[in-house]
Every structure is written in C-alpha cells, then in structure tokens.
Amino acid sequence: MKFVSIIIGSKSDYSVMVECANTLDKFGVLHELIISSAHRSPERTHSYVKGAEERGSRVFICAAGMAAHLAGAVAALTIKPVIGVPMKGGAMDGMDAMLSTVQMPSGMPVATVAMGKAGAINSAYLAMQILSLEDNDLQVKLQEDRILKSKKVESDSADIEIKL
Ligand code: RP5
C-alpha cells in the first residue's frame, strides 16, 4: 500500500493542514495524518517515520511553526521526499518557520512550500506530482485538474471582463 504521511507539529496546525488532507482526498490519494513534534515528541516522530516507511509511505509532508525543525528532523531519518509547510503564527508570523524549514544543509533537502493555506494545498499537489511519476491514473487526474483551473480563469474573467 502506497500512501502519503502528513505530520503536523501541533493540534494548532490542523485547521490549515486539513486543506492538505482534503486535497489528497479529492484525488483519492491514501494518506495518514498524525501530530508529532520534533521538539516535544522526538521519539514518537522517529518511530512514526521508520514505521510509516516500512508500511509504504512514499512522501512525508511536515508542517510546523516557530522554530520549525520537524521537516528537517524527518529528512534526517529518511531518503523519501520530504515537503515542509511553514506555519504562520508566533512573534514573526511564520517568517521564522519558513527560514527554519527552507534553510537545510546540502545533501538534506526539504522541499519547502508557501506558508498558510496555499502551502498546505501545494504540499498535497507536490506529493501527488511525485507519486504520479509512477502512477498514470494520477497523472491524468492532475492534467485534468490543470485544464479545469485554466477554464475557471476564462469563466471568471467572462463574468467581469471589460473589453473594447
Ligand atoms: C510548533 O509550534 C507547532 O508546529 C506550531 O505551529 C507551533 C505552536 O504550537 P502550539 O504551542 O500551538 O502547540 O511546534
């Protein structure tokens, strides 16, 4: 069984990261979501990553805020792709999390997406694009989704556009 693992650092990240789970659901992509923290529960994080890999996890999506080390800590444990989602909040409103997540040392990548809802959704899309390299059905669904998005731009414009 192939699936995507979503790890969030705190319950307070859930309201944003549910968008990631919903996006994977929309495309019928199997996933798990757990709360585990690099700092508050390092052993739980370690054992989840090792266990999930053995059970078929193909991509890890990690969301954390403030001194956001979760994605980096997970990247240290696996060579599966790790996607980091910086959470807004704290004194720097996510800037700290973004830099903590993106600035990984060479050889230890974390694919860092935008903060907030767009990042949560894009983490799901990026995970699916990785999975679609070996899944033609998913590739077709993603291509169809692109066409729908493009058509929506046209229909939205048609609703309001002014042309001479
Ligand atoms: C991080 O600290 C979490 O990922 C969360 O974004 C932030 C605040 O956590 P809580 O204090 O709300 O649990 O570890």
The per-residue pLDDT for range 44-54, each reduced to its tens digit, is: 999 999 999 99
143 within some domain: no
- Has residue 159 been placed in a domain? no
> Which amino acid, 95?
M
> In 10 A of CB 124, how many CB atoms?
28
- The pLDDT confidence band at residue 123, using thresholds 50, 70 and 90, is very high
E strands, the chain, are 3-8, 31-35, 57-65, 82-87, 111-112
Question: Which pLDDT band, with edges at 50, 70 and 90, does 7 fall under?
Answer: very high
Full residue range of the structural domain in which residue 32 is found: 3-135
pLDDT tens column, 64-120? 999 999 999 999 999 999 999 999 999 999 999 999 999 999 999 999 999 999 999
User: The domain spanning residue 18 has which CATH number?
Assistant: 3.40.50.1970
Distance between Cα 33 and ligand 1 center (Å):
16
The percent of residues above 90 in pLDDT, for the chain, comes to 100
**Domain count across the chain:** 1
- The answer as to whether 31 is a domain residue is yes
pLDDT at 113: 98
Confidence tier at 5 by pLDDT (50, 70, 90): very high
Is the alpha carbon torsion for 47, 51, 52, 54 positive or negative?
positive
- Mean per-residue pLDDT, 148-154: 98
What pLDDT score was predicted for residue 95? Answer: 97
26, part of any domain: yes
Q: With a 6 A CB cut-off, is 37 part of the ligand 1 pocket?
A: yes
- Any domain includes 154: no
How far does residue 42's CA lie from ligand 1's centre (Å)? 14
Ligand 1 pocket residue status of 13, Cβ below 6 Å: yes
| Residue 55 covered by a domain | yes
Percentage of the chain surpassing pLDDT 70?
A: 100
Q: Is residue 146 in some structural domain?
A: no
CA 120-143-121 angle, to 5 degrees, is 5
Residue 152 maps to a domain: no
